[in-house]
Amino acid sequence: MIGIFHPPDYDSPKQHIMPRGRIADRCRKHRARHLVSEAAMNLEKVVFGFFIVLSLTLNFGFFLGEIDDATHHHAYELFAVIIVNLIATVLKFGDRSQMGAVLLSTSLVAVLQLLAAAMVWAIAVYGTGSGLTPTVMASIVSLSGGAMLANVISVTLLIIETVLLRR
């Protein structure tokens, strides 16, 4: 069975043939499911990209400033960087491609260095009692700089993957 219809967006008098029946219904349902899953996948990619870029920008904000001046680097900012990097790492667990493995490894490096920076901060303030000396603060900022480099690599790989995906 073949039906004739005029799509609403065409003004030409051409007639378009559209199949009817069970096969056509299945095609329409499959197309609708595909569109819904494509929209969900795009939302997932937006959230994924958001957390990757947010982890880089927060890390840059913590890293910026005099390396040995504790007033330029706040503990809550380091805490926010760690939380956002952990969220970005969890989001990277779903990708099973080679690029996903490299993205996950860069994220794990960033989290490891940020946790080391937080441990150095906590030990300096609460463990040794010496407080945040310029040497300790320089170590903390250097560790966060290494994490920032890992985040830069992650964002660069994400951009490369996006460009290659478009082709």
Q: What is the pLDDT of residues 47-92, one digit of tens each?
A: 989 999 999 999 999 999 899 888 899 999 999 999 999 999 998 8
Distance CA 94, CA 139 (A): 33
Res 30: pLDDT: 60
Region 153-160: mean pLDDT is 93
Domain housing 77: 44-166
Least confident of 6-15, 104-113, 121-130, 139-148: 6-15
Distance CA 90, CA 88 (A): 6
Q: Please state the domain count of the chain.
A: 1
Distance CA 117, CA 132 (A): 12
What residue has token string 């690029």?
99
Question: Does some domain include residue 11?
Answer: no
Question: Does some domain include residue 10?
Answer: no
Question: Does some domain include residue 30?
Answer: no
**Residue 18 scores a pLDDT above 80:** no
Helix (H) or strand (E) holding 4: strand 2-5
Question: Does some domain include residue 39?
Answer: no
More confident residue, 108 or 39: 108
